[in-house]
Homo-oligomer: A and B are copies of this chain.
Amino acid sequence: MAKSPKISASHEPGGLIVHISGLLPSLSPAEQRVARLVVADPADAARRTITDLATAAETSEATVIRFCRSVGMDGYPQLRIRLAAEAARRIEPPDARVVGGDIPPGADLAQIIATIAFNDARAVEETAEQLDPAICEQVVEAIGGAGRIDVYGAGASGFVASDFQQKLHRIGRTAFYFPDVHTALTSAALLGRGDVAVGISHTGTTSDVIEVLEQARARGATTVALTNFPRSPITEVADFVLTTAARETTYRSGAMASRLAQLTVVDCLFVGVAARNRARAKKALEATAEAVKSHRVGATRRRG
The residues of A with any CB-CB pair to B shorter than 8 Å are 1, 4, 25-26, 28, 46-47, 49, 70, 77, 80-82, 84-89, 91, 103, 105, 107-110, 112-114, 116-118, 120-121, 124-125, 127-129, 131, 133-134, 136-137, 140, 154-156, 159, 162-163, 166-167, 170, 203-208, 210, 229, 231-233, 235-236, 251-254, 256, 259-260, 263-264, 267-268, 270-272, 274-275, 278, 285, 289, 292, 295-304
Contacts and interface: CB of A to CB of B under 8 A. Distances in A.
B88 A275 contact: no
A114 B88 contact: no
A245 to B, nearest CB: 11
A89 to B, nearest CB: 5
Given A233-B297, A275-B105, A4 B303 contact: yes
A116 B128 contact: yes
Contacts of A297: 205, 207, 210, 233
Given A46-B81, A297-B210, A297-B233, A1 B303 contact: yes
Contacts of A236: 300-301, 303-304
Number of copies: 2
A87 B89 CA distance: 9
B85 A271 contact: no
A263 B264 contact: no
A163 B156 CA distance: 7
Contacts of A231: 299-303
A263 B267 contact: no
B125 A117 contact: yes
Given A81-B84, A89-B91, A268 B112 contact: yes
20 contacts: A26-B299, A26-B300, A26-B301, A46-B81, A49-B77, A80-B80, A108-B137, A109-B133, A109-B140, A109-B268, A113-B128, A117-B125, A117-B128, A120-B263, A159-B163, A159-B166, A170-B254, A205-B299, A252-B267, A256-B270
